[in-house]
Structure 1
Amino acid sequence: MSLQGTVGRTKAYSLRSIAMSLVFLLLFTACFTGAASAGAASAASKMSTDLIIVNKKTNKLGFFSGGKLEKVFPVATGKTKNLTPEGTFRVVLKVKNRPYYKEHIPGGDPANPLGDRWLGLEVNGTYGTTYAIHGNNNESSIGKYVSAGCIRMHNDDIHWLYPRVAKFTTVIITSSSRSMENIASKAGYLLGTKLFAGTFVINGEAVAVKSPFVEENSRIYIPLREAVSLLGGSLRQEAGTGALMITIGGQTVIHKPLSSIATVNGKEVIMLASRNVDGRLYFPLGSLTPLFGLPVVWDAKKGTVEL
């Protein structure tokens, strides 16, 4: 459970430039080209509104679900600052009663320092067997800096958390003075959101979409790729700028992912910013009319968009 080596530091401007390039590239390839492998596509199709944040500064773990902070728990982390790695990881392994192999202690044994629940993380080339969120055999250690790298929880707390955490749930480990909600928001987590199954009604025919609709602050966002496809339109990326050229009917709109501006027939139009939700680009439903001239009827009770 130890972290080998040190993490290099990169200048802020370089990070920002790389991050923005990756956003445009990932959104375009994942959302529009369909080039992902079958396994990746399957994982991406299982959209999640869950998030775990571990704040080493306060030794607290926050569990978010459905766009809100559900619970905060005390945890124990690494004896030294570098032992518990910081970054964004995924839960890739769930095990009940994992043995403590180092000292040959069976799983479920009261002397097992791992407790009886293990949420393994994919960290620095390890695949859930080295770093984890787990229980303990010393309840008094929780809240302290005592581990060799893992995140320890009270056994009752990990029992509550374990069944609620799906594989591939995102885990952010950081050391911050900010609140859990602020950390989540800065990481792109949509607080106050609701995901639900949506349907398009086109020429009187109902078509259920594979990706859910998103509701945030009483506004509806729709998965752009599927919407364009259902409407017989096309998408392509503008060379050099990362902007998307979206054509529906005779109307072409140029829009940079995540921005609040679009260009329609050479004129800038202010809009609600598009959203990245689990690697998919979402468009505000209300923008379809001013940008594409499409009349839209939204039925909140049925969850349908009639076009």
Structure 2
Amino acid sequence: MSQREQVSRIQTYFPKSIALILVFVMLLTACFTGSAAAASSSSDLIIVNKKTNKLAYYSDGKLVKIFPVATGKTKSLTPEGSFKMVVKIKNRPYYKEKIPGGDPANPLGDRWLGLEVNDTYGTTYAIHGNNNESSIGKYVSAGCIRMHNDDIHWLYPKIAKNTRVIITTSGLEMAAIAEKNGYRLGSTMIAGAFVKGGEKLPVKNSFLLEDSRVYIPLSESVKLLGGSLMQEAGTGALIITIGKKTAVHKPLSTKAKVNGKTVEMLASKSVDGRLYIPLGSLTPLFGLPFTWNAKEGAVKL
């Protein structure tokens, strides 16, 4: 029922004074509900990368979770672009074959997040469940994005209407796709490790990802890399030695002295009482070349 129809019924069945109050309350509630939905959806983003058949869910600038999905049989079937999720339906029937909503044979599963694509307003293209779990990860659909049923059950209640959905075919990492589409990334913590001489050395305290940069916990990293760390008396600066290089760095500053020579660097950061330095500083400060494997969260030295 439309808002106009609701107002008409209230005016018909209630005295004028009461009707005015009810209409005011209804409009006020709608206003606040709409504002809350808009606010919640503006901080969320869904990315579907058809190249990898993965769906990423971001909230408040942070990557929350990545899921496997299935997309169109051909590249053109699943449309690409920026769309809004405008419809949420539980137990949607599969009208084409007259299969009721919630039926195990329903190829749409029991959750439907409809996308506004080419004026279809959420009725044609969607992120939804499935009746064939083995299809996930493949190119098999008529255009929709399929998820494992457990995955969409997890995602469905977290997504507000008007959440933006980016569908693309890209070789970029999810974070780079988000930034390319104007989504501001915040910070997030990920499990990390160093790979030295072919040996993987897990880091107990997570790496920090912020604005597409990686920061590593200083004290633990120095220890894993066979170095030493001590505090300079009177100044609070840290004296860090790895191999033949010694860097003197005052926490949170943008400079360090390496073997007596000043070197510019990105500022170190304090996270939960621990000092983190930019991963990129390993080379200018300690002469350590490295490669970063974002997929594995590993620094190969």
Q: TM-score, normalised on structure 2? A: 0.50
| Rg larger in structure | 2
Higher relative contact order structure (alpha carbons within 8 Å, sequence separation ≥ 6): 1
